[in-house]
Amino acid sequence: MGPKTARVDKTLREWIASGELSPGDKLPSERTLVEQLDIGRTALRQVLARLVAEGVLQVRGRSSYTVPAALADESVSVTSPGVLEQWQIHGERTVYDNRWVKLDLVDVEPPGVKRFEHHVVRLQHVSIAAVLDDQDRVLMLWRYRFVPDKWGWELPGGIVDAGEDALAAALREVEEETGWRPDALERVVIYQPMVGMVDSPHEIFVGRGAQHVGDPTDVEEAGHVEWVSLADIPGLMARDELMGSGTLVALLHLLATRGDGAPRAAR
């Protein structure tokens, strides 16, 4: 961030930390913030998007921002048992490596078990986005995947490029694959789809509102673009027409928080 955006970022965080903006409060309009904070509208939106991605703010509609009413982890009743005895790692060696896939053999010793070499597949960092419109429809792609040899519905998403922010990657992928530009996205979770053997962080972003800016530009990844009703998602799941863990995680999150206002960001 530049000096002006860094200043505005700090100011907004201080308003929240000091209680000037309380949980559930709505931020002033963009026009008011532009004048009050002496910043351009584009730069202001960059700051707001970053705060939304971090869960500091929530976005409702196209340009209405609020302080989250409560953090999701405040309602968790289970207590973590803390750090238990963990596996010892004695070293590792690479068997195969290219820009897409890296295969390592890791010398591990689980508690009470003789040490052995464990295969670890290291893939890329991925961002996936679920964009809703004002009719509770989610922006999806009908695509063919040759690995499982099947057609199905997916959310837009892809690899986070080197040096790229995950939020920026999500915004970019939506526009490249669908021709729609999201108004804003917020991060709700990061997870590993096959945690026992595969290292591939998946970040899920959600948001409401998008502007059509043209045809998809990523020919390889593009498919039939459709706004799919959230009410159809359970049926599509039952018909095995939803593809990819990221699509399933994001859609299940939307269904779980449906009618609960804007999706809550994970911290």
- At residue 261, does pLDDT exceed 70? no
- At residue 262, does pLDDT exceed 90? no
**Looking at the DSSP assignment, which residues form a beta bridge with residue 115?**
none
Q: What pLDDT sits at residue 94?
A: 96
Q: What pLDDT sits at residue 158?
A: 95
**208 sits in which H/E element:** strand 202-208
Q: Which residue has the tokens 């060696």?
A: 93
Q: Domains for the chain: give ranges and CATH numbers.
A: 3-70 (1.10.10.10), 88-122 (no CATH), 126-256 (3.90.79.10)
CB distance 177 to 156 below 8 Å: yes
Q: What pLDDT sits at residue 76?
A: 67
Considering the entire predicted model, what is its pTM? 0.70
Please write the tens of the pLDDT for every residue from 190-234.
Answer: 999 999 999 999 999 999 999 999 998 877 777 799 999 999 999
CB distance 170 to 138 below 8 Å: no
Please write the tens of the pLDDT for every residue from 227-256.
Answer: 999 999 999 999 999 999 999 999 999 998
Distance between CA atoms of residues 223 and 156, nearest Å:
10
Alpha helices in the chain (DSSP H): 3-18, 30-37, 41-53, 166-178, 233-238, 245-256
CA-wise closest residue to 131 among 245, 65, 211, 52: 211
